[in-house]
Amino acid sequence: MTGVAGFIGSNLASRLLAEGYEVLGMDNLAYGLRENVPEDVEFYRLDIRDKDMVPLFKGVDTVFHLAAKNCISDCQTDPVETAQINVSGTVNVFEAARRAGVRKIVYAESSALYEGSSIYPTPESEEKPESFYAVSKLASMHFAKAYERFYGLKFTALRYFCVYGPVQDYRRTIPPVMSAFIIKLLKGERPIIYGTGEKRRDFVYVDDVNDFHLICIENDRTHGRVFNIGSGVNYSVKEILDRVSKILHITPDPIYKGDLPGEAQVTLADITQAKGLGWKPQTPMEEGLERAIEYIRGEMKAGRIP
Ligand SMILES: NC(=O)c1ccc[n+]([C@@H]2O[C@H](COP(=O)([O-])OP(=O)(O)OC[C@H]3O[C@@H](n4cnc5c(N)ncnc54)[C@H](O)[C@@H]3O)[C@@H](O)[C@H]2O)c1
């Protein structure tokens, strides 16, 4: 697995270990943390652009490729590094997998591919990337298809919507919206809303995403296909703040700031394809939020959030 020290990667590694799989994980720790990586993972601190990855991939059945430069605003300011990591790095992972005889690659795309679309819920066919990040993810898809076409390397592409849950990265300058609200409210500070708070987001809990990851390993009907992984329901940013506040018994008094550039107004997944394989998101929002709050509380108690 690449990106094992990140949010989705560390959660997936724990789940795979619990299911009895052996996990070898790599990460350059650009965003992720070593302590996020479960103890039983065979860990390598490595950049996905490293040319010497082939030996590590020998004997591996399925590669989950999650490492990426994935903060949209960072990608906008550095398109060259975005392409180096998300395109060249991804091709380097595909190439190492092919040379090592890996059976299958499951890799991360993003709902950002629908930035230019106004069809809701959005089906997989609506590819309209605009930002450098989204374009880099679309390039990966064409390489994945070419690797399958010319070398028979099986793949599944996953277009995650807003994944949330424990271990979500809250250290960024502008953390993901849920973590940002939880941290501010737990600290007794005023939460910040960028824009009017009317933007709507499709959130999906990380354990539900992991249910689909397991299907990708086991079900041949995922081969050569792209899947939206969202919940098929969306909430406005204000509604999310209300829900977090209600759980914490706080009346929020948000500070409104200017809109963040490059963010879609609405995301809403058409999850017909994934449901067709027997998957559906199971975790109610309240339950997912409570677990995310519990995690952040723990981080605060441990002094990791100043
Ligand atoms: N979390 C979401 O809601 C979401 C939504 C859409 C798409 N995605 C995609 O899913 C994947 C995982 O996302 P996440 O939320 O876990 O992100 P994350 O930032 O928590 O994890 C990504 C990991 O990749 C590592 N990494 C970055 N560049 C690397 C490099 N050059 N070499 C090796 N490792 C490197 C980082 O250190 C980090 O640990 C990413 O590809 C992201 O674009 C996530």
Residue 23: pLDDT band with limits 50, 70, 90: very high
**Considering only CA atoms, which residue is closest to atom 28 of ligand 1?**
68
The number of the ligand 1 atom at minimal distance from the alpha carbon of 168 is 20
Question: Which residues make beta-bridge pairs with 45?
Answer: 27
Q: What is the pLDDT of residue 276?
A: 98
252 CA distance to ligand 1 middle (Å): 31
pLDDT tens for 258-303 read: 988 777 889 999 999 999 999 999 999 999 999 999 999 999 999 8
172 CA distance to ligand 1 middle (Å): 13
Catalytic residues: 133
Residue 187 is given by DSSP the state T
Check whether 172 has a pLDDT greater than 80: no
What is the model's pTM? 0.97
The dihedral built from the CA positions of residue 70, 29, 160 and 238, taken in this order, carries a sign that is: negative
Q: Is the CB of 31 under 6 A from ligand 1?
A: yes
Phi, psi of 151 (to 5 degrees): -125, 0
Q: Give Dmax (Cα) for the chain.
A: 58
Q: Is the CB of 37 under 6 A from ligand 1?
A: no
Q: Is the CB of 122 under 6 A from ligand 1?
A: no
Q: Is the CB of 148 under 6 A from ligand 1?
A: no
The number of the ligand 1 atom at minimal distance from the alpha carbon of 5 is 39
Give the C-alpha separation, 153 to 145, whole Å: 9
Q: Is the CB of 7 under 6 A from ligand 1?
A: yes
Q: What is the pLDDT of residue 304?
A: 87
Identify which of 1, 8, 29, 64 to mutate to test ligand 1's pocket (most ligand atoms within 8 A of the CB). 8
Mean residue pLDDT of the chain comes to: 95
Read off the pLDDT of each residue in 151-165 and give the average, rounded to a whole number: 97
pLDDT tens for 93-150 read: 999 999 999 999 999 999 999 999 999 999 999 999 999 999 999 999 999 999 999 9
pLDDT tens for 218-260 read: 999 999 999 999 999 999 999 999 999 999 999 999 999 998 8
Q: Is the CB of 8 under 6 A from ligand 1?
A: yes
Nearest CA among 5, 202, 14, 2 for reference residue 110? 202
Q: What is the pLDDT of residue 173?
A: 72
2 CA distance to ligand 1 middle (Å): 9
